[in-house]
Amino acid sequence: MDRCINCGIATNHCNNISRRRLNDETILSVIRQWLAHKSVNSSDYICNACWDLAQSPDVDVQRRLLGHRNVCIRCGRSLATRASHLLHTNSTRESRIYNVIQERIIPLTIETGSHVCHGCWVAADRAAVRMVSGPSTSSQQDRPQEDNPAPVSPNEVVRGKQPEPTIVLPEYMRASETESRCFIEGCRRTDRYRVPLSIRKMLLNQYKYYIPENNRLCDQHLVIEAWDFLESLRSNYIKSFTAKHIQDMLSLKEVG
Protein backbone atom coordinates (compact mmCIF):
# COMPACT_ATOMS: atom_id res chain seq x y z
CA MET A 1 0.00 0.00 0.00
CA ASP A 2 1.42 3.42 -1.01
CA ARG A 3 1.75 5.71 1.99
CA CYS A 4 2.97 9.20 2.76
CA ILE A 5 6.45 8.78 4.17
CA ASN A 6 5.83 11.60 6.65
CA CYS A 7 2.37 11.16 8.18
CA GLY A 8 1.70 7.55 7.10
CA ILE A 9 -1.64 8.16 5.38
CA ALA A 10 -2.41 5.69 2.60
CA THR A 11 -2.44 7.53 -0.72
CA ASN A 12 -4.38 5.05 -2.83
CA HIS A 13 -8.08 4.56 -3.48
CA CYS A 14 -8.95 3.68 0.14
CA ASN A 15 -8.58 7.33 1.18
CA ASN A 16 -8.66 9.18 -2.14
CA ILE A 17 -5.61 11.14 -0.99
CA SER A 18 -3.39 12.77 -3.62
CA ARG A 19 0.35 12.39 -3.34
CA ARG A 20 3.49 13.98 -4.76
CA ARG A 21 6.94 12.59 -5.40
CA LEU A 22 9.79 14.23 -3.49
CA ASN A 23 11.49 15.58 -6.61
CA ASP A 24 11.71 19.13 -5.25
CA GLU A 25 15.04 19.63 -3.47
CA THR A 26 13.64 22.17 -0.99
CA ILE A 27 10.74 19.95 0.05
CA LEU A 28 13.02 16.90 0.15
CA SER A 29 15.41 18.75 2.47
CA VAL A 30 12.60 19.66 4.88
CA ILE A 31 11.23 16.10 4.98
CA ARG A 32 14.72 14.71 5.57
CA GLN A 33 15.13 17.00 8.56
CA TRP A 34 11.71 16.04 9.90
CA LEU A 35 12.56 12.36 9.47
CA ALA A 36 16.20 12.42 10.47
CA HIS A 37 15.92 8.82 11.73
CA LYS A 38 14.76 7.55 8.33
CA SER A 39 16.25 7.21 4.89
CA VAL A 40 14.34 9.56 2.58
CA ASN A 41 15.05 9.99 -1.13
CA SER A 42 13.53 11.60 -4.20
CA SER A 43 11.63 8.44 -5.16
CA ASP A 44 9.49 8.60 -1.99
CA TYR A 45 6.06 10.23 -1.83
CA ILE A 46 4.23 12.51 0.58
CA CYS A 47 0.58 13.50 0.64
CA ASN A 48 -0.51 16.94 -0.57
CA ALA A 49 -1.24 18.06 3.00
CA CYS A 50 2.33 17.33 4.13
CA TRP A 51 3.66 18.94 0.95
CA ASP A 52 1.79 22.15 1.73
CA LEU A 53 3.18 22.19 5.27
CA ALA A 54 6.74 21.57 4.08
CA GLN A 55 6.66 24.39 1.52
CA SER A 56 5.29 26.97 3.95
CA PRO A 57 7.60 30.04 4.08
CA ASP A 58 7.76 29.93 7.88
CA VAL A 59 8.17 26.17 8.23
CA ASP A 60 10.17 25.03 11.28
CA VAL A 61 12.46 22.21 10.15
CA GLN A 62 13.18 21.31 13.77
CA ARG A 63 9.52 20.55 14.53
CA ARG A 64 7.89 17.84 12.49
CA LEU A 65 4.42 18.62 11.17
CA LEU A 66 1.86 16.07 10.01
CA GLY A 67 -0.64 16.57 7.24
CA HIS A 68 -2.87 13.87 8.76
CA ARG A 69 -2.85 12.89 12.43
CA ASN A 70 -5.67 10.35 12.71
CA VAL A 71 -4.17 7.47 10.73
CA CYS A 72 -4.25 3.71 11.30
CA ILE A 73 -0.62 2.74 11.80
CA ARG A 74 -1.30 -0.71 10.33
CA CYS A 75 -3.18 -0.03 7.08
CA GLY A 76 -2.78 3.73 6.67
CA ARG A 77 -6.49 4.46 6.42
CA SER A 78 -7.88 7.68 7.81
CA LEU A 79 -9.52 7.32 11.22
CA ALA A 80 -11.60 10.48 10.84
CA THR A 81 -14.80 8.46 10.36
CA ARG A 82 -13.67 5.02 11.56
CA ALA A 83 -13.74 3.40 14.97
CA SER A 84 -10.21 3.04 16.32
CA HIS A 85 -8.23 1.60 19.22
CA LEU A 86 -5.26 3.08 21.06
CA LEU A 87 -2.38 0.62 21.14
CA HIS A 88 -1.13 -0.09 24.64
CA THR A 89 0.07 -2.96 26.83
CA ASN A 90 -2.17 -2.58 29.86
CA SER A 91 -3.44 -6.16 29.67
CA THR A 92 -2.30 -9.52 28.35
CA ARG A 93 -4.69 -9.31 25.43
CA GLU A 94 -3.63 -5.80 24.47
CA SER A 95 0.04 -6.78 24.74
CA ARG A 96 -0.52 -9.62 22.27
CA ILE A 97 -2.31 -7.32 19.85
CA TYR A 98 0.44 -4.71 20.25
CA ASN A 99 3.12 -7.29 19.38
CA VAL A 100 1.24 -8.53 16.31
CA ILE A 101 0.83 -4.99 14.98
CA GLN A 102 4.48 -4.21 15.65
CA GLU A 103 5.57 -7.28 13.68
CA ARG A 104 3.39 -6.33 10.72
CA ILE A 105 4.50 -2.72 10.36
CA ILE A 106 8.25 -3.34 10.37
CA PRO A 107 10.36 -1.24 9.72
CA LEU A 108 7.90 1.27 11.23
CA THR A 109 7.53 1.35 15.00
CA ILE A 110 4.59 1.95 17.29
CA GLU A 111 4.79 5.33 18.97
CA THR A 112 3.00 6.73 21.99
CA GLY A 113 -0.54 7.55 20.92
CA SER A 114 -0.56 5.24 17.88
CA HIS A 115 -4.00 3.97 16.87
CA VAL A 116 -5.33 1.21 14.61
CA CYS A 117 -8.72 0.97 12.94
CA HIS A 118 -11.20 -1.54 14.33
CA GLY A 119 -10.73 -3.87 11.37
CA CYS A 120 -6.97 -4.10 11.92
CA TRP A 121 -7.52 -4.48 15.66
CA VAL A 122 -9.86 -7.43 15.17
CA ALA A 123 -7.47 -9.07 12.66
CA ALA A 124 -4.52 -8.65 15.06
CA ASP A 125 -6.58 -10.03 17.95
CA ARG A 126 -7.41 -13.16 15.95
CA ALA A 127 -3.80 -13.55 14.77
CA ALA A 128 -2.59 -13.31 18.38
CA VAL A 129 -4.96 -16.08 19.41
CA ARG A 130 -3.72 -18.28 16.53
CA MET A 131 -0.11 -17.70 17.55
CA VAL A 132 -0.96 -19.13 20.96
CA SER A 133 -3.18 -22.00 19.81
CA GLY A 134 -1.32 -22.88 16.60
CA PRO A 135 -1.03 -21.70 12.97
CA SER A 136 -4.02 -21.39 10.67
CA THR A 137 -4.06 -22.63 7.10
CA SER A 138 -6.20 -19.72 5.97
CA SER A 139 -4.77 -16.31 5.09
CA GLN A 140 -8.17 -14.70 4.89
CA GLN A 141 -8.35 -14.14 8.63
CA ASP A 142 -5.24 -11.96 8.54
CA ARG A 143 -6.91 -9.31 6.43
CA PRO A 144 -8.44 -6.21 8.04
CA GLN A 145 -12.21 -6.44 8.16
CA GLU A 146 -13.99 -3.21 7.35
CA ASP A 147 -17.49 -4.38 6.57
CA ASN A 148 -19.57 -5.47 9.54
CA PRO A 149 -16.66 -6.15 11.94
CA ALA A 150 -17.47 -8.38 14.86
CA PRO A 151 -18.47 -6.32 17.91
CA VAL A 152 -15.81 -6.34 20.57
CA SER A 153 -16.33 -5.03 24.06
CA PRO A 154 -13.38 -3.07 25.50
CA ASN A 155 -13.77 -5.06 28.71
CA GLU A 156 -14.03 -8.45 27.04
CA VAL A 157 -11.75 -11.06 28.57
CA VAL A 158 -10.26 -13.68 26.30
CA ARG A 159 -10.53 -17.11 27.87
CA GLY A 160 -8.39 -20.08 26.99
CA LYS A 161 -4.66 -20.52 26.73
CA GLN A 162 -2.36 -17.86 28.11
CA PRO A 163 0.24 -16.33 25.76
CA GLU A 164 3.60 -18.06 25.74
CA PRO A 165 6.45 -16.24 27.50
CA THR A 166 9.25 -15.05 25.26
CA ILE A 167 12.98 -14.57 25.63
CA VAL A 168 15.26 -12.15 23.76
CA LEU A 169 18.21 -13.69 21.93
CA PRO A 170 20.45 -10.70 21.06
CA GLU A 171 22.54 -12.61 18.52
CA TYR A 172 19.55 -14.02 16.63
CA MET A 173 16.61 -12.57 14.75
CA ARG A 174 13.49 -14.04 13.27
CA ALA A 175 10.90 -13.25 10.63
CA SER A 176 7.37 -12.21 11.46
CA GLU A 177 5.28 -15.36 11.85
CA THR A 178 2.73 -15.34 9.02
CA GLU A 179 1.42 -17.57 6.25
CA SER A 180 -0.37 -14.78 4.37
CA ARG A 181 2.60 -13.30 2.52
CA CYS A 182 6.26 -13.71 1.62
CA PHE A 183 8.27 -13.28 4.84
CA ILE A 184 10.66 -10.80 3.19
CA GLU A 185 9.49 -7.44 4.49
CA GLY A 186 8.10 -5.19 1.77
CA CYS A 187 7.56 -7.99 -0.76
CA ARG A 188 4.11 -7.79 -2.34
CA ARG A 189 4.24 -10.72 -4.73
CA THR A 190 1.15 -12.89 -4.43
CA ASP A 191 2.68 -16.36 -5.01
CA ARG A 192 3.41 -18.16 -1.74
CA TYR A 193 5.37 -21.36 -1.17
CA ARG A 194 6.41 -23.09 2.02
CA VAL A 195 10.02 -22.22 2.88
CA PRO A 196 12.21 -25.26 2.10
CA LEU A 197 13.97 -26.89 5.04
CA SER A 198 17.33 -26.29 3.35
CA ILE A 199 16.76 -22.52 3.25
CA ARG A 200 15.55 -22.39 6.87
CA LYS A 201 18.63 -24.31 8.00
CA MET A 202 21.02 -22.20 5.91
CA LEU A 203 19.60 -18.88 7.16
CA LEU A 204 19.78 -20.02 10.77
CA ASN A 205 23.33 -21.36 10.56
CA GLN A 206 24.88 -18.68 8.35
CA TYR A 207 22.90 -15.57 9.29
CA LYS A 208 21.42 -16.50 12.70
CA TYR A 209 18.06 -15.73 11.14
CA TYR A 210 15.17 -18.01 12.11
CA ILE A 211 12.22 -18.64 9.80
CA PRO A 212 9.13 -20.13 11.54
CA GLU A 213 8.13 -23.45 10.02
CA ASN A 214 4.83 -22.23 8.52
CA ASN A 215 6.21 -19.10 6.84
CA ARG A 216 6.06 -18.58 3.09
CA LEU A 217 8.32 -17.31 0.29
CA CYS A 218 7.27 -15.88 -3.07
CA ASP A 219 8.49 -17.46 -6.30
CA GLN A 220 11.17 -14.79 -6.75
CA HIS A 221 12.73 -15.05 -3.29
CA LEU A 222 12.45 -18.82 -3.39
CA VAL A 223 15.35 -18.97 -5.86
CA ILE A 224 17.46 -16.14 -4.47
CA GLU A 225 21.12 -17.02 -3.90
CA ALA A 226 22.55 -13.98 -2.08
CA TRP A 227 21.05 -13.30 1.36
CA ASP A 228 23.63 -10.81 2.58
CA PHE A 229 21.03 -8.03 2.54
CA LEU A 230 19.61 -9.50 5.76
CA GLU A 231 22.56 -8.10 7.70
CA SER A 232 21.62 -4.52 6.83
CA LEU A 233 18.09 -5.13 8.12
CA ARG A 234 19.11 -6.75 11.41
CA SER A 235 17.88 -3.83 13.54
CA ASN A 236 14.37 -4.11 12.06
CA TYR A 237 13.73 -7.77 12.82
CA ILE A 238 12.30 -9.49 15.85
CA LYS A 239 14.64 -10.77 18.55
CA SER A 240 12.08 -12.33 20.91
CA PHE A 241 11.46 -16.09 20.77
CA THR A 242 9.02 -18.50 22.38
CA ALA A 243 9.95 -21.94 23.67
CA LYS A 244 8.38 -23.40 20.52
CA HIS A 245 10.64 -21.24 18.34
CA ILE A 246 13.76 -22.25 20.28
CA GLN A 247 12.86 -25.94 20.12
CA ASP A 248 12.42 -25.67 16.34
CA MET A 249 15.74 -23.81 16.04
CA LEU A 250 17.50 -26.64 17.90
CA SER A 251 15.92 -29.20 15.60
CA LEU A 252 17.16 -27.25 12.57
CA LYS A 253 20.66 -27.29 14.02
CA GLU A 254 20.42 -31.06 14.25
CA VAL A 255 19.23 -31.56 10.66
CA GLY A 256 21.98 -33.15 8.63
Quick one: pLDDT at residue 131?
Answer: 67
**pLDDT, tens digit, 9 for 90 and up, residues 43-60:** 899 999 999 999 999 898
Pair 41, 112 in one domain: no
Quick one: pLDDT at residue 255?
Answer: 60
Pair 86, 148 in one domain: yes
The candidate with the shortest Cα–Cα distance to 222, out of 254, 189, 179, 245, is 189
Tell me the percentage of the chain whose pLDDT exceeds 70.
82
Total domains present in the chain? 3
Q: Cis ω on the peptide bond leading into residue 107 (within 30° of 0)?
A: yes
pLDDT, the chain, mean: 81
User: Residue 88: pLDDT above 90?
Assistant: no
β-pair type (209-210, 173-174): parallel
Pair 22, 83 in one domain: no
Pair 171, 183 in one domain: yes
Can you tell me whether residue 126 is helix, strand or coil? helix
**Domain closes at, from 68, 88, 114:** 68
Pair 57, 87 in one domain: no
Pair 170, 247 in one domain: yes
State how far the alpha carbon of 190 is from the alpha carbons of 119, 193, 212, 221, in Å: 22, 10, 19, 12
Pair 237, 247 in one domain: yes
What band does 157 get if pLDDT is binned at 50, 70 and 90? very low
The candidate with the shortest Cα–Cα distance to 72, out of 34, 137, 112, 119, is 119
**Domain closes at, from 22, 40, 68:** 68
Pair 90, 153 in one domain: yes
**Domain closes at, from 51, 68, 85:** 68
Which domain range does residue 153 map to?
70-163
Quick one: pLDDT at residue 141?
Answer: 44
Can you tell me whether residue 254 is helix, strand or coil? helix
